[in-house]
Amino acid sequence: MADSISLRNQISTLRQSFFDEGMLDKHFVQLEELEEENPHFAEEVMTMFFRDSTKLIATVEHALQTSPYDLPQIDQYLHQLKGSSSSVGAAKVWSEINKLRALLKDGEMERFWTQFFQVKNEHDKLKENLGPYFQMLRQLDP
C-alpha cells in the first residue's frame, strides 16, 4: 500500500515535470482524458507517435544527405511531424520543428543542420523520458 502511494507520488511528480519543462502541453492532457474509455490510451498514442516520428526524422535526415535537396518534400515531412507532435502535445518538439521550417523557408541551410539536430534531440529526450513514466503507470494499473 505504501509502495503504491510512493509510486503514485513519483508518477505525479514526473508528470508535472514534463509540463513544467514545456515538454508536454494541454493536448497531452486531452489524450489522458480519453483513458476512462481506453486505459493506457495516452501510452498507445505516444507509442504510435514515436514509431511514426522516428521514421519521419530518419527520412528527413536521409533527404538532407541527398543533393540537391528536395525542399518541398522535406517541408512536407516537417509539416507532418509538426501536425502529429502538436496533436499529441509534444510541445518542445513542435516548437523546434517550427523553427526548423522557418529556416527552410528562409533558405538558411547552414543553420538548418544544427536546428535539425535540436529537433532530433528534443524528440529523443521526450521518448526517453516517457518510457519510464508509462512503465510506472503500468505498475500501478497493468
Partner 1 sequence: MTDGNANGNQEGATTPLMSWNNNLKALLVDPSPACRLIGKAYLTAYGVNTEAVDNADVAIILLNMGASFNVILIDMHMREMNGAQFAMLLRSSGVQTKLLGMSAMFREREKEEFLEAGGDGFIEKPLHPSKFVPILQELDSN
> Distance between alpha carbon 100 and the CA centroid of its chain, in Å?
15
> How many chain residues touch partner 1 (CB under 8 A)?
24
Closest to 131 (Cα-Cα) out of 12, 13, 14, 25: 14
**Interface positions, 87-116, toward partner 1 (CB under 8 A):** 87-88
For residue 94, the minimal CB distance to partner 1 (Å) is 9
Whether 126 and 92 have beta carbons less than 8 Å apart is answered as yes
Query: Toward partner 1, which CB reaches closer, 17 or 30?
Result: 30
User: Which residues of this chain interact with partner 1, rule CB under 8 A?
Assistant: 27, 30-31, 34, 36-38, 41, 44-46, 48-49, 51-52, 76, 79-80, 82-84, 86-88
